[in-house]
Structure 1
Amino acid sequence: MTLAAALTVLAGALVGGFVSGLAGFGLGLVALGFWLHAVTPAEATALVAFCSVLAQAQTLPAIWHAVEWRRVGPMLLAGLVGVPLGALLLTRLDMEVFRLGTGLFLIAFSGFLLLVRSQPAIHWGGTAANAAVGFVGGVMGGLAGLSGPAPTAWATLRGWSKHERRGVFQPFNLGILAAVALWNLLSGAATAELALLSAVALPGTFLGALAGAAAYRRLSDRRFHEVVLVLLAFSGVTLVWAAF
């Protein structure tokens, strides 16, 4: 690995870690923009999973008090069932169509909620709805590393506070991404080159997540709501871009 590649990986880890510490998800959304210029797509995808687990685990204690396992438990269990299904679908689905459809939905969803004055809130849906959302997130996580959009959108529609939202989608994402990272290890994705890339990226991820968590504490519920929607919109744009 050249010095330029190492600096690119480190920069992506710092920025991605900051976004993850700030919003509770989204490391891959920004880090891939750096990493795909320096490493192969397969290495970048595996690196996203490993670094995301570190960033999520690092900032989880700060919002642990907001975790309600009656919400998260069914969602996470269903998501873990969905991960291997998503991995199996990887070779059977038209990924361009999947990216385009998912991206357009995220753009429309986040754009609408950013423009409306009053925040709509869904008050129906209990354990079954949480599990269904978790299953979709797990499938999307195994398919494309996109475990975050489904639970994040659901938590946003429920009208919860910033702590309540992160208390749902952060432990969910941590569990799903850990499963994806384990899947990568068992499938032989762990190579000497990936270990070297991780050694470069993980310190940057740690420092970035630390700074992002400090910024999160200064956000009001409304500002956090806006940050989440902007990141979802950005995720949609990148997916649409990748579909062409």
Structure 2
Amino acid sequence: MSPELLAWLLVGAAAGGFVNGLAGFGTALFALGFWLNIMPPQQAVAVVLITSILSGLQGVFVMRATIAANSRRLLQFLLPGLIGVPIGLTLLEYLEAGSLKLTIGIFMLFYGGFFIARQSLPVVDGPRAYTQMAIGFIGGILGGAASLSGALPTMWSALRPWNKAEQRAVLQPYNVIVLTVSAIILGVQGTYDRETLILIGIALPTTLLAAHVGLMVFHRMQDRHFSRLLIVMMFVSGCTILVGQLF
């Protein structure tokens, strides 16, 4: 493995792990921007699935009591999400690296813009079960296609009258379970060959350490600082990906 490839791998692992620990999702949004420079899309998604799942388990364990208290809400997202996973994995077979990077960069800029506008957006009250089921389903498709299962549900949860712990109690287990199902299906399809497992073995320790740091930062941040940090990170990373891809 060349020093350049190793550097891309470890920087992506650190960025993705930190964001997962901080926000409960986002490994793919940050890691794929680096890993698609050194891997084909299906392999990069296969690696990010495993790192997302294992780094996310730390947060699930820490938040387990809050997750149990919000289990009914979680199921509204999760059950439709599991239906969407095979659709996303089918789409993955037709994606190429440049298009996937461009899509992720645009998604990150849109995501940052969403949070900037968040203070001026109305709070959505009420149960909204059917809306949450639809968002969970689309998130499942995005999870299978690019490990982006948490992005759309997070945008929706930001509109709801939930504090950061309640949001995370839904988003993190949803993300972990959807991505686990995606990884199992890819494993049955034979995606996890020797080279892919080596890449996972190298990236995983950095991802887990960075996720632990992100989790510590999460517990020390106020809600408003939490959102502002996400905005900055999304914009900077999205701009970097788009500039690199377009120029």
- Per the normalisation by structure 1, the TM-score is 0.85
- The answer as to whether partners of 1:78 and 1:134 remain within 8 angstroms in 2 is yes
Residues 163-174 of structure 1 mapped to structure 2, 5 A cutoff: 163-174=165-176
Secondary structure, aligned partner of 2:205: helix
Unaligned runs of 5+ residues in structure 1 are none
| Aligned mates of 1:73, 1:243 — CA distance in 2 | 38
Residues of 2 paired with 1:180 and 1:168: CA distance? 18
Task: Indicate conservation of the 8 Å contact 1:147/1:173, yes or no.
Answer: yes
CA 1:242–1:64 in structure 2 vs 1: closer, same or farther (change >3 Å)? farther
Q: Describe the SS at the equivalent of 2:208.
A: helix
- What's 2:30 paired with? 30
1:123 matched residue in structure 2? 125
Q: Tell me the equivalent position of 1:145.
A: 147
Match of 1:191 in 2: 193
Distance in 2 (CA, whole Å) between partners of 1:183 and 1:107 is 30
CA distance in 2, matches of 1:153, 1:106: 12
Q: What is the CA–CA distance in structure 1 between the aligned matches of 2:18 and 2:87, rounded to whole Å?
A: 31
Distance change in 2, residues 1:235/1:147 (3 Å): farther
Q: Mark the runs of 5 or more structure 2 residues left unpaired by the alignment.
A: none
Matches within 5 A, 1:56-67: 56-67=56-67
Q: CA deviation at 1:132?
A: 1.3
Aligned counterparts of 1:2 and 1:164: Cα–Cα separation in 2? 43
Q: How far apart, in 1, do the equivalents of 2:93 and 2:39 lie?
A: 22
Instruction: Please name the residue that 1:134 is paired with.
Output: 136
Letter in 2 for 1:71: R
Aligned CA-pair RMSD: 3.1
Q: Is the 8 A contact 1:149 1:232 kept in 2?
A: no
Q: Between Structure 1 and Structure 2, how many residues are aligned?
A: 244
**Cα contact 1:96–1:242 (8 A) shared by 2:** no
**Structure 1's 89 and 18: CA in aligned 2 closer, same or farther, altered over 3 A?**
closer
Q: Is the 8 A contact 1:26 1:231 kept in 2?
A: no
Residues 41 and 176 (structure 1), Cα distance of their counterparts in 2 relative to 1, 3 Å cut:
same
* Aligned residue number for residue 16 of structure 1: 16
Partner of 1:47: 47
Question: How much identity, in percent, do the aligned residues show?
Answer: 38
Would the aligned equivalents of 1:119 and 1:159 in 2 still touch at CA under 8 Å?
A: no
Distance 2:182 2:199 in 1: 18
2:2 corresponds to which residue?
Answer: 2
Once residues 10 and 105 of structure 2 are traced to their aligned partners in structure 1, the CA distance between those partners, rounded to angstroms, is 27
Between the aligned partners of 1:163 and 1:230, the Cα distance in structure 2 is: 21
Please report how far the alpha carbon of residue 180 of structure 1 lies from its aligned counterpart in structure 2 after TM superposition: 1.3
Residue deviations 1:148-196 (CA, integer Å, cap 9, x gap) = 1111011111131111111111111101111111121111111110111
Corresponding residue of 2:84: 82
Point out the more displaced range, 150-159 or 102-111. 102-111
Change (3 A) 1:94 1:56: closer
